[in-house]
C-alpha cells in the first residue's frame, strides 16, 4: 500500500515521480539511459543484471520483478531470474552467471549492504577477473542508481505490479529508456 495518500495502489514508479516532480522524473529517466545504455565495457544486459541483483539484495520486489522481465527479454535465462529473485542474491557463487561477472556482483552487493567495508581487495578481484577500471566505475554507477530507485520505490510504498505490459518491456529492452522520454 502506498505511503503517500495521493499515490494510487497500482501506480508505477514513473507515474508517481511525474505526479510530484516532472523535471526530476525526466532527469532520472535520462540518467537511466546514460548509465544503463550509454557507452561502457559492460553490455546493457550485464548492467541490467547488476541492477536487478542490487534490487534483489535490497529486497525491493517491485524493481526486481520489473527488471527481471527486462533482462529476460534481453536474453537472460529464466533460471537466472529465478535465482536472483530468490535468496540466492545472498550467495553470488550459486548464481548462474558468467564467472567473470561474479566479482562485480560481489562488489555491488557489498557496496549496497556494507559500503564502509569495501577495500582494495574487492577492486582487485574485479580487475583479476579481466575487467578494467571503467567497468568497475560503471558497475558502481549502476549500483548507485538502483539503490536510489529502490529507496524511492520502498519509501513511496509501491507494491510489485500484478502484471507488466509486455510491449513496454520489449521496447525498453530493445531501445532503452529514452523511449520513455519520447512518449512524454
Alpha-carbon separation of residue 11 from 147, 160, 161 (angstroms): 20, 10, 8
In whole angstroms, what is the distance from residue 150 CA to residue 76 CA?
Answer: 21
Structural domain span for residue 158: 13-176
pLDDT at 23: 94
Structure confidence at residue 1 as a pLDDT band (50, 70, 90): confident
Q: Please, what is the average pLDDT of the chain?
A: 94
pLDDT above 80: residue 88: no
Say yes or no to pLDDT of 14 above 80: yes
In a domain, 2, yes or no: no
3, part of any domain:
no
183 band by pLDDT with thresholds 50, 70 and 90: confident
C-beta of residue 176 within 8 angstroms of C-beta of residue 85: no
Q: Is residue 133 part of a domain?
A: yes
- Looking at the chain, the whole-number percentage of residues with pLDDT higher than 90 is 85
Task: pLDDT band for 184, please (50, 70, 90 cuts).
Answer: low
> pLDDT tens across 98-125, in order?
999 999 999 999 999 999 999 999 999 9
Please give the tally of structural domains in the chain: 1
For 134-164, how does the pLDDT look when each residue is reduced to its tens digit (9 = 90+)? 999 999 999 999 999 999 999 999 999 988 9
Q: What CATH number does the domain containing 171 carry?
A: 1.20.1290.10
Confidence (pLDDT) at 181:
79
Amino acid at each position: 500500500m502506498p505511503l503517500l495518500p495521493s499515490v494510487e495502489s497500482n501506480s508505477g514508479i514513473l507515474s508517481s515521480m511525474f505526479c510530484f516532480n516532472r523535471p526530476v522524473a525526466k532527469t532520472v529517466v535520462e540518467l537511466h539511459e546514460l548509465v544503463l545504455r550509454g557507452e561502457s565495457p559492460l553490455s546493457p544486459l550485464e548492467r541490467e543484471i547488476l541492477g536487478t541483483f542490487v534490487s534483489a539484495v535490497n529486497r525491493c520486489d517491485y524493481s526486481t520483478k520489473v527488471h527481471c522481465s527486462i533482462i529476460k527479454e534481453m536474453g537472460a535465462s529464466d533460471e537466472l531470474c529465478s535465482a536472483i529473485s530468490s535468496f540466492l542474491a545472498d550467495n553470488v557463487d550459486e548464481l548462474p552467471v558468467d564467472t567473470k561477472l561474479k566479482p562485480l556482483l560481489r562488489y555491488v552487493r557489498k557496496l549496497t549492504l556494507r559500503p564502509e567495508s569495501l577495500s582494495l581487495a574487492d577492486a582487485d578481484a574485479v580487475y583479476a577477473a579481466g575487467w578494467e577500471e571503467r567497468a568497475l566505475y560503471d558497475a558502481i554507477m549502476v549500483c548507485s542508481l538502483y539503490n536510489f530507485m529502490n529507496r524511492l520505490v520502498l519509501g513511496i510504498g509501491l507494491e510489485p505490479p500484478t502484471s507488466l505490459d509486455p510491449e513496454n518491456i520489449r521496447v525498453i529492452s530493445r531501445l532503452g529508456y529514452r523511449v520513455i522520454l519520447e512518449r512524454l
